[in-house]
């Protein structure tokens, strides 16, 4: 897995394909490999060079320490664009990754041709703020959830009810989540918990000039579609797409619909 140095940290990335570069940024505690199941193959087949990044604190990238900020992650992404991509590119981010891309569009629009923001928001609300605080409190208390409980909780939070209605599909997801629990005892993961949209950024996002697609998932409890529509309304000229029967993991639940929408936008 190739890497670059940025100050006192190392950033690991993977890439595949040739053509116009697309950089994909994952969400909290997720590795860049999450994109390789569905999005990377679709991008490569469409003639793009797909590059995925492990944000600092995840995988072999890091270290990440308490006080990690959105500015740190934006700076890391800028470094990857400049050192690995070699110039402006198309950017895709989901959840925390969308937040990184949103802020980069404000500070370094010269590095982005087009941007896709999945499961994003422009401001906090009571539920998102309380959930973020509750997760930090859980970690601070040293609570380690049993894998079975962790899997069920994550499934209910991140998957569509339509996915969970099918017993075979639901069991497959539960098995996957139980076998890959989020390790909140890890310092890097804990640091990423602090990177949340905690202020209203709509005024800043009204300055964005890069062509942008905001993609929400209809059954998303973490970043509800209403917040995605609000984000799209704040960005001048932004397009909006809503994927049905999909929760916060919509890019994994409904990959065909997601890939169709993002490729149509990238090709346009």
**Residues designated catalytic:** 95, 220, 248
- φ, ψ of residue 119 in degrees (nearest 5): 50, 50
Give the burial class of 183: count Cβ atoms within 10 A of its Cβ; 0-12 exposed, 13-18 middle, 19 or more buried: exposed
In angstroms, the Cα distances linking 59 to 25, 114, 135, 154 are 13, 27, 21, 20
Is residue 62 left, alpha or beta, with left meaning phi > 0 and alpha meaning psi from -120 to 50? left
Query: Listing from the earlier edge strand, what are the strands of the sheet with 20-25?
Result: 3-6, 9-16, 48-53, 20-25, 89-94, 112-118, 212-217, 239-243
Cβ 23 vs Cβ 83: under 8 Å = no
How large is the C-alpha radius of gyration of the chain? 17
- In the numeric block, which tokens belong to residue 106? 């404000």
Token pair, residue 162, equals 């339509």
């Amino acid at each position: 897995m190739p890497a670059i140095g940025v100050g006192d940290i190392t950033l690991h990335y993977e890439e595949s394909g040739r053509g116009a570069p697309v950089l994909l940024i994952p969400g909290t505690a997720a590795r860049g490999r999450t994109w390789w199941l569905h999005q990377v193959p679709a991008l490569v087949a469409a003639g793009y060079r797909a590059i995925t990044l492990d944000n600092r604190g995840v995988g072999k990238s890091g270290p990440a320490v308490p006080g990690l900020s959105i500015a740190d992650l934006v700076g890391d992404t800028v470094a990857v664009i400049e050192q690995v991509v070699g110039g402006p590119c198309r950017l895709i981010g989901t959840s925390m990754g969308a937040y990184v891309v949103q802020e980069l569009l404000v500070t370094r629009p010269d590095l982005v041709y087009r941007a896709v923001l999945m499961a994003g928001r422009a401001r906090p609300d009571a539920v998102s703020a309380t959930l973020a605080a509750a997760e930090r409190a859980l970690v601070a208390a040293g609570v380690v959830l049993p894998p079975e409980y962790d899997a069920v909780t994550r499934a209910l939070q991140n998957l569509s009810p339509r996915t969970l209605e099918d017993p075979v599909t639901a069991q497959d997801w539960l098995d996957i989540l139980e076998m890959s629990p989020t390790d909140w005892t890890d310092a890097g993961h804990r640091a990423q918990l602090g990177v949340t949209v905690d202020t209203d950024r709509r005024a800043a996002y009204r300055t964005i000039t890069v062509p942008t697609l905001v993609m929400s998932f209809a059954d998303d409890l973490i970043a509800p579609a209403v917040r995605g529509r609000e984000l799209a309304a704040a960005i001048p000229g932004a397009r909006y797409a809503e994927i049905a029967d999909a929760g916060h993991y919509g890019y994994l639940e409904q990959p065909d619909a997601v890939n169709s929408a993002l490729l149509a936008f990238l090709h346009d």
